[in-house]
Amino acid sequence: MKLFTRYNRILIVISLFGLLLIGFLFYWMLGFYLDQQIDHDLVEEVMEVKEYSSKGVFYQAHEFEDLIVQYKKISVARPSSNYGDTVFYNPIKHRKEIARYLKTELKLFGQPYQILIIASKFERQEQIRNICLIILIPVLLLFVLVLLVNRILLKKIWVPFEQLLKNITAFNINHERPYEPVEMPVSEFRQLNQVLIELSGKVKSDYNEIRLFTENASHEMMTPLAVINSKLDNILQSNALGKEDGETLVELYKATSRLTKLNQSLLLLMKIDNNLLQDEEQINLKSLIEEKAVYFQELINERNIIISTVLADITINTSKQLLEILINNLFSNVIRHNYDGGKIEISLDEEKIVFANTSHNPALDAEKIFDRFYKDNASEGTGLGLAILKQICIRQHYLLDYTYQRDLHTFTVIFNH
């Protein structure tokens, strides 16, 4: 939920609660005042009853007064009065109405009587409702107006902040274009903008330094490794070595070759991580897989591996370099971890590419196989091949999945995930 929306919701909830509370208290206070006023009028009616009794007659209210006075003989008159609310039938208006009553006991004409005086509250309640409406309707209109003005002002104030977020999202340390500042009318936003300008500059500077260092270090490492490999090749081809020395040199040759591959893989991962390979174009996957199958055909034939393919004619828009690395690594994986006389199954449709291979190894740990430098004990690789696959899929928004079924290690790349 956006901050602006959250703020408005909180403001509306608090304001509505406040209006309801104030409205309830206002209505209750008016009702309390009404009861006090009616009670005062009922006391005056009791005074009228006493005055009329002194003249020898029972007091009866006028018809237009919405009053009922009832007399009831009792044995003893106690000096007490009770007030309360009731519902009575108004004989004049022929309907039931809410009323206020006063019940008291007096001596009239020398006899004890219970006097019940009932006064209708209907008209006065109508007045209270009208008063509440007269007051609350303008308050509600004012509340709506304040909300609208608040919404417009806040939206205007937050427009630069939204632009700030867009600029942050669009900022890419791989591009030469620097972070674009935004004009901010609010001092706190101006301060945030200034901090982002300084931070983006520092991040870009640090990133460029690290990238240059990594690239230079990798390239510098390649030169001595190439020299070492070349020297070892020359020594191994000479006939002056003993058996033990030859075996030692072979181990050294393998170690330097592995170090070279590791260096190349790390450099490639760095490029993928930093999104440096962005040559997007339309690529026919079927043609690319068939081309790579021809490229690896010598290795496949050498190990008598049977390869079967079911390829649909699919074209996608993606980075050619990344896709070629992806297909190369998949081919390399299913060949290297296969056994002589094994099989490879490759399928392609609109949704996915599937590479499956036989192997002497049991099912792998699906949660760890894509971690960098993770490999089983039988593997002689660098432990980065599957990590590179995973990183490419992340960059291209693909899903890479591993399963083990029908004695086949199966890797699936799902598009448009």
What would the pLDDT profile of 247-261 be if each residue is shown by its tens digit? 666 666 666 666 666
* C-alpha dist (Å) from residue 99 to 14, 31, 49, 66: 36, 12, 19, 10
Return the minimum-mean-pLDDT range out of 47-56, 280-289, 367-376.
367-376
Res 371 pLDDT > 80? no
pTM of the model: 0.45
Q: What is the DSSP letter of 175?
A: S
Tell me the mean pLDDT in the region 44-61.
80
Side chain identity, residue 341: G
- Considering the chain, what is the average pLDDT of its residues? 77
Three-state DSSP state, 306: strand
3-state SS class at 301: helix
pLDDT in the model for residue 61: 72
Q: Give the model's confidence band at 351: pLDDT under 50 very low, under 70 low, under 90 confident, else very high.
A: confident
- pLDDT exceeds 80 at position 160: no
Q: How confident is the model at residue 116 (pLDDT cuts 50, 70, 90)?
A: confident
Average pLDDT of span 42-58: 81
Cα–Cα nearest to 225, from 188, 256, 270: 256
Contact 70, 104 (CB under 8 A): no
Burial class (CB in 10 A: 0-12, 13-18, 19+), 96: exposed
Q: How far is CA 270 from the centre of its chain?
A: 30
Which of 26-30, 123-127, 408-412 has the highest average model confidence (pLDDT)? 408-412
Q: Flag whether pLDDT at 303 surpasses 80.
A: yes
Q: Quickly count: other Cβ atoms within 10 Å of residue 200's Cβ.
A: 18
Q: What count of other Cβ atoms lies within 10 Å of the Cβ of residue 277? A: 17
In this prediction, residue 93 carries a pLDDT of 73
Secondary structure percentages of the chain, helix, strand, coil, to 5: 55, 20, 25
CA R_g for the chain: 46
- Whole-number pLDDT of residue 361: 82
Q: Is the pLDDT of residue 305 over 80?
A: yes
φ and ψ of 296, to 5 deg: -95, 5
d(CA 2, CA 14): 18
Contact 281, 317 (CB under 8 A): yes
The residues, any chain, with a CB within 8 Å of residue 358's CB and separated by 6 or more, are 338, 339, 342, 343, 344, 407, 408, 409
What pairs with residue 280 in β-bridges? 319
Burial class (CB in 10 A: 0-12, 13-18, 19+), 262: middle
b/e sequence 364-378, b meaning 16+ C-beta within 10 Å: beeeebbeeebbeee
